[in-house]
Amino acid sequence: MTSVLYDIPGPKARRRERIGSVIGGLFVLGLLALGAWQLQQNGIFEAERWSVFFDPPKNQEASDVWNFILVEGLGATLRAAAIAAPLAVLLGLILAVGRITPQRWVSWPSILVIELFRGLPVVLMMLFGVLALQLSFLQAVVFGLVVYNMAIFAEIFRAGIVSLPKGQSEAAYAVGLTRTQTLLSILLPQAVRRMLPSLISQLVVLLKDSSLGFIIGYAELLRSVQNLRDFFGIRYVVPLFVVGAAIYIIINLTLSRLAVYIERRGSKKAAGGVARAEEAVGGQVRGIDDASTGRSGGSV
């Protein structure tokens, strides 16, 4: 029995794979244990170091620390992402439509914008916003996130539209729809639904890229963690950055799981639609057979 790309492994190959997986897992666990031991030797797990979250020094309250991390830091991160995400999606959709249009005076500038901003680093655009455009830190972060991610969203939308069967466009033209009506009513809704997992995955990237605002001085989550480190001292750097990393991981995993859920839900709906279509076709065939044999009660 073979697959398209490789032969399906036999019993001996599967046994070797299991042995290799066990050895590899033990090796990774060993590295983790070694790292944990080294951290323990450096006193990272001492309760006093983690007391910054429940009994901070310098006459501070634990609520002040958490407020600075979750409300000010995380709030600034989510604020920048919440402003940049819809703008990037909207501009990306406009660029995608402009790129696939047959008018060259529209498609060529769209291609130029997409290829230009897709190849530029996000942090460079943020610095350009601060130094050249004299934007505020928040505006510069949003500017960098928008101009980069709109190019990526444009390619995602274009890929979704191009992946649709050409017969749908031809059928729409046959019934009298214009190109614009076909694009807005038939192609775009299907492309958005098909590419929704990719869109959500790119939103995760956008959220993570907001941490680059740290470089230009924007007080997002990473900057807030660093400010706490500077205030309380280098002794608390590891606990503070561990909590900051955990917050990023929780948010990004939540969005990633949302993308997986939407993808599975869309796949199930697509599979269900095919089955119902087959049943409908079968019912029509049975109805025709009944009519040809003179029996009544044809199915719908």
Spatial contact of 141 and 85, defined as CB atoms under 8 Å apart: no
The C-alpha atoms of residue 261 and residue 253 are separated, in whole angstroms, by 12
What is the model's pLDDT at position 6? 59
Cβ atoms within 10 Å, residue 63: 9
223 vs 300: which has the higher pLDDT: 223
Secondary structure (DSSP) of 209-242: HGGGHHHHT--SHHHHHHHHHHHH-GGGHHHHHH
> How many helices (H) and strands (E) in the chain?
14, 0
The C-alpha atoms of residue 137 and residue 135 are separated, in whole angstroms, by 6
What is the model's pLDDT at position 87? 95
Assess whether pLDDT exceeds 60 at residue 300.
no
Assess whether pLDDT exceeds 70 at residue 107.
yes
Mean per-residue pLDDT for 37-43?
74
Mean per-residue pLDDT for 220-227?
88
CA distances from 22 to 9, 28, 31, 32, 236 (A): 18, 10, 14, 15, 36
CATH numeric code, 61-259 = 1.10.3720.10
Spatial contact of 67 and 211, defined as CB atoms under 8 Å apart: no
What is the model's pLDDT at position 147? 94
Structure tokens at 141: 């972060």
Q: Which residue has the tokens 């049943």?
A: 279
Q: Which of 81, 55, 53, 56 is nearest to 69 (CA)?
A: 53
The C-alpha atoms of residue 216 and residue 142 are separated, in whole angstroms, by 12
The C-alpha atoms of residue 171 and residue 160 are separated, in whole angstroms, by 18
168 vs 157: which has the higher pLDDT: 157
The C-alpha atoms of residue 200 and residue 149 are separated, in whole angstroms, by 12
Paired strand residues for 7: 2
Assess whether pLDDT exceeds 80 at residue 14.
yes
279 vs 167: which has the higher pLDDT: 167
**How many Å from the N-terminal Cα to the C-terminal Cα in the chain?**
42
Spatial contact of 207 and 81, defined as CB atoms under 8 Å apart: yes
Assess whether pLDDT exceeds 60 at residue 194.
yes
Angle between helices 137-162 and 74-100 (to 10 degrees): 40
What is the tens place of the pLDDT at every residue in 160-182?
Answer: 888 888 887 888 888 887 777 88
High-pLDDT (> 90) share of the chain, %: 19
- In 186-278 the beta strands, taken as DSSP E runs, fall at none
The C-alpha atoms of residue 277 and residue 212 are separated, in whole angstroms, by 49
The C-alpha atoms of residue 244 and residue 169 are separated, in whole angstroms, by 48
Can you say how many angstroms the Cα of residue 13 is from the centroid of all Cα atoms in its chain?
A: 36
Structure tokens at 200: 């959500």
Spatial contact of 155 and 118, defined as CB atoms under 8 Å apart: yes
